[in-house]
Structure 1
Amino acid sequence: MEAQRALVRQVGDRVRESQEALVEGLVQDIRAQIGALDQEAAARSLLEASITENVVAAINFLRQGIDPDQLEAPTAALAYARVLAQRDVPQSALIRAYRIGHQRFLDHTFALLDDLPAADRVPVCVELVRLSGQFIDLICEQVGRTYERERDRWVASRSGVRQRWVTDLLGGGPVDRAAAARALRYPLEAVHLACTLWPATRMTSFDLVAAVDDVRAHAVSALRARAALVVPTDEYEARLWLALPGPSNAPAPPSGSASSSASASASASASASAPGYLGAPEGSLLHAAFGRPGAGLGGFRTSARQAARIKEILGTRLGSGAAAAPLWVHYDQAAPVALMAGDLPAVRDFVMCTLGALAAAGAREAVLRDTLRIFLDRHRGHAATARAMSLHRNSVQYRVHRATALLPRGERDLADDFNVRAALLAVHWLGDAVLATGS
């Protein structure tokens, strides 16, 4: 028996050496096979943390012969279960992920046994199946209890009730709008501006609630909103809807603002001139992603969907190492990127083919890209670009000349600059994720 335990420990050591590849493959498999778990960047990060800690715990269970009665689910696994409960993801999706993980763990482990003598291989495989099955059952039991407790708590809370109504409204199926409006205390017939909010710095869930309420008060005051609806998505994120005032008493967006076009509405008759621009208040601790204003239930849904797309873009940008200062971004500022950001490899290919050497990930190229982007956005006006960037006109001319020289066909690429502008906008919002890294 001791010889068998020594072999199991040896196998555990081998799995630990290939742990990174195992985790990467597991993340890809689970996202591909369980659509409910293939969510936005923040949730994917929690999924990866949960898988990583579970794999480490499983390896230690094999190597150290831990008493099953002392086995505790990893912290990240329990946190991920709570988040899924808050987001109304079925528990069956979570348990299925563990079953997929168990099978892939065994497949990965068995592939490492080829050099063992045949007499040792069978009993070791049997022991690995027994131990891994014991591990997965105990972990599933613990994360399942955590999920159920959090689900009961969340549904019983007022936030949970609001989230269930909002989930029904966003689901696209039939819903009792009058009952929903009464339960939410929010006018669904209004012109809606949706926003997704999440921390720009580390904070407790209590601090997040306070920060979101500060944004709500700021937004209601700045836009003279008729009503506001705040619905936590989970302990790391919240959604905000604002019922905007009618066109007759709506404030205009700031003059000359690059985001003033966000006042476009989904309803030509009811909300064509409704304001959608909102700037961050001083001292804000939250990132904010806004959709366009839209009327009625359709606008409620569409604006929220657009805000989610902008959050996804900002998650990519922040994840690529961009500054983490609070960003408040409206859909119209990045709409073309929102439409194509679902396929980052394709966007990267487009950027590299369109910008050529200007797509390098260096500081010099970044300055030249920003200058060329602002220059083209201001109708190729050197003076207007100089004012926007607080530069001398000669500096702008020099930078534009250098940037143009790095394009694949030089000045000829600017004869019809649509592709160049789209590529520059993609880099501006998605950052290093779509740049040539030199690898």
Structure 2
Amino acid sequence: MTTASGSAEEHTGDVSELLALVARQLDLRMPEIVREMRDLLASRIDDLGGDPQLVEMLQASIEGNVTTICHILANGIDLESLQPTTAAVEYAARLAQRDVPLAALTRAYYLGQSMFLRLGMDEAERLGVSDRVKIDVVRDIADVVHRYIDWILQLVTGVHEQERRRWWTTRATLNASIILKVLRGDSLPIRGFVSETGYTLAQTHLGVMAWSDVDAEDAARQHEIDHLLRRLATAVHSSAAPLITVVDRSTAWAWFGGARLDAGALARVEDLVATVPGVRTALGEPGHDVEGFRRTHEQAAIARLVALSSPRYRDRAVVSYADPQVALVQLLTKDATATATWVREVLGDYAGAGEQARVMRDTVAAYYAADKNAVRTAEQLGVHRNTVRQRVDRFEASVGARGVDPLQVALALRIYDDLLLEGADARHT
């Protein structure tokens, strides 16, 4: 039987010659193989197919790897004498710079391996040799391909990890310098900012701060925060890649361009942050252009301060400046001692711990919220109206000659949780 690759009489025993023949046949089809493999990987792995430049680099990496494998098959070269192709190394580094996870790169190599094995077996079928020889050829092809993929994956994995750490740190450091200039109010051309950071100031900005409340390995936690911020940018419909800068080992600042922070977006943010235990976020409100860039960052900083200092917010993973209470708490906590003194003056004996004081605060808060209607207050609290009247009388009597200002009492009750007590007694206003 004669085939396109030769006859059975010509190829009966020397597997190395058959491997070389298979390699030559594959090499002749190189452009076709590379295109098909590129299209397969770009379509099957989302992280690899969204950027034309990455697709072009993917093609170059595929061509370099396939050419090397064919070279090994044709010449029986040992892996120890090989150097990784420049295209494969550069592609791994570029994926790290684009924050494409290592898992995507690994999957690409395994999908490419499967496709190359299928092509190699197809060529082995065309050799026109006995089944026994054909099995030997296929076994050797598989052995070469598996060993090469294992070898190259170790190399590009190391490149990806090293570049990810270097790029992330370098990018964050460079961003920090130019960002601080803008936050300080230094004069800086918008085009200059774009060229340095890849982020334009001529848009709407949403300022975000993210930090970790738990100890973790620095690089791993930094990358975790970075990845979360990028997911959050998508959740609020940011129109471009976020601007991120590192503040310390467990804190990062970010700006999301063109973001919208409606109730649905905030809910998505809360859901995403909940998937990363120990990480918390503070959000500003959207602001426009350079002033908006500064102001939304200031608002995020205020929200973070409240998240760290207020018992009301200390257990929340997401704190937004859009919450009306946040700005109020921040204003009051600028002089927390004076504010706490004022609250105690207004609430008198009932500005303290204990069940009796808590019940009184709940009753008075409900009473003034119901416009001093004892019947509605009783219905809300599930007690008799006479009980409400007795409690309110005791509270007003405790105030003494100073008298009761309903507005002051309502405000004092509202901020009591945030400024005075640390324990559960303060969580009922």
TM category (shorter chain) comes to 0.3 to 0.5
Query: Greater CA radius of gyration, 1 or 2?
Result: 2
TM-score between both structures, scaled by the size of structure 2: 0.48
